[in-house]
Structures are given as C-alpha cells and as structure tokens.
Amino acid sequence: MPAIIRQDPRLKLQFVANPEPSIDAGLVAVEAMARRFGLWDKGRQIRCRDPRQDRRRGYGPEVIIGQLIDALCSGGGWLADREALNDDPLAQELFGVEKFADQSQVGEGWREPSQESVGALRQRLQGFVAWVWKQTPPNRLRHAGQREVFFDDPQREVSGKHFEAAALNYHGDLALSWQTLWVGPRLPESPLGSPQDVSDQLLPMLERHRPRWQDQEAPFYADRGRRAGK
C-alpha cells in the first residue's frame, strides 16, 4: 500500500438548517475550524513516533492524529470508533483519504510517544485555546463580571495490563490523576499523572497561564482536598 497522506478537499462549506442532523455531520464544523486555525499544517510539524519501516507506505502520523480528533469529536471513545469512520463517506471526503486506518494501525501509531512529541502536542493544544480566546467576546469569558479560575484533580480509574503512571488512589482503585485548570469556560491545560502526586501541577500551571487573568478580578476555586496538596 502506498503512503497515505492527508489531502485538503476542494469543498466549499456552508451551514444551513437541518431538521435531522447526525453526529458525524458535526465533522463539517470541525473541519472548518481546523482549516481556520491551520491545524493540519501544525500537526504535520509535530515530530511524533512513526511506526512505519517504509515511509513510502502506510499512514503518516498526521493522518493518525487527525483521525483521532475526528473520532473524538463524533462521540468515539474506543480505537474501534476510529476505524468506524470508514462507514461515513462524508468523513472520508472531508479528511481527504479514500480509507481511514484500522484500529491496529491507530494503536500502533500511539504507542510509546516521546517526551518531545507529547510536549509539542501540548503546545499545539495551548495554542488552539489561545486562538479561540482571542476570537471570543470578553463577556463570554466572565461570570458575574469576573474571570473565574478553577482547579480540580479528578481520578480516572483504569483497568488493563499496563497504564503508565497509574497507581492505587485513596479509594484503593488503580487510577490516573487528571489535573485540570479552567480559566472561565476554557480548559487551557489538563495533564495526566500519578494520583499520588496530589496537585503537583497546580503551581506550574498557574504560572504559565497567569496572563489570562492578570490585572483583573479573578477568584480562584479548588475543592479542599486538592488545595491541601500544595
């Protein structure tokens, strides 16, 4: 199979009322926003792991990344849901491929990511939040005239043979810690880690995102257990 890369479709997108919308129809909006942000070009610049021995064949990393985004935005939560996009001709045409990767190919593309690729992906996510932030009316980023900052460290229980950084939490369940920082209605950062490192990312995240509320009223909220961590 020759190498499969993402091709930009020559489509003019127009939004009209539809009394019978489908979940996958929302991919039109995803594609339109991705183009405006330049997401696909930015995705090609990420140096992620490429499992192909011959790069003239198979799916390039940018296809795997884009397929993951499209599946998540249409309600998919499993690797098999990425492969299910092959059942939707509209998704294939929007994405510019004749066939999506199957779940084995998607899984292989996401195994053993490097610190460099994870850091680059995190930078792209923060860049996207900043881009959306600039285009949002200021009143939609405030509550009662203030920009609220909220931190939480929920536990995500996992099961399986191996989950990196997973450990037993205070309930005795194998879990990951999902530390989230919300600024207004936006989620600029949400690292995963060990549940034993309670709130260890709170202070670094506050430093990184301080400009989003500096010089204005911004109450900070956190539940008592997480606040006690740092």
Domain extent for 12? 1-135
The domain boundary, picked from 105, 135, 165, lies at 135
Query: If we measure between CA atoms, which residue out of 113, 102, 110, 96 comes closest to residue 65?
Result: 110
23-62 confidence digits (pLDDT tens): 666 788 888 888 888 888 887 777 666 666 666 777 777 7
Q: What pLDDT is recorded for position 229?
A: 47
> How many alpha carbons fall within 13 Å on the CB side of residue 216?
17
Q: What pLDDT is recorded for position 230?
A: 47
The domain boundary, picked from 135, 152, 187, lies at 135
Distances in whole angstroms, Cα of residue 76 to Cα of each of 10, 13, 71, 122 = 26, 23, 5, 21
First to last CA, the chain: 52
Same domain assignment for residues 131 and 155: no
How far apart (Å, rounded) are the C-alpha atoms in residues 46 and 62? Answer: 8
Same domain assignment for residues 71 and 96: yes
- The total number of structural domains in the chain stands at 2
Q: What pLDDT is recorded for position 20?
A: 67
For the entire predicted model, the pTM comes to 0.71
Same domain assignment for residues 68 and 167: no
Instruction: Quote the radius of gyration of the chain (alpha carbons, Å).
Output: 20
Same domain assignment for residues 7 and 120: yes
Same domain assignment for residues 101 and 26: yes
182-199 confidence digits (pLDDT tens): 999 989 888 888 888 888
Q: What pLDDT is recorded for position 198?
A: 81
**For residue 192, what is the enclosing H or E element?**
strand 192-193
Same domain assignment for residues 73 and 175: no
Q: What pLDDT is recorded for position 170?
A: 79
The domain boundary, picked from 135, 150, 181, lies at 135
Segment 11-21 shows an average pLDDT of 69
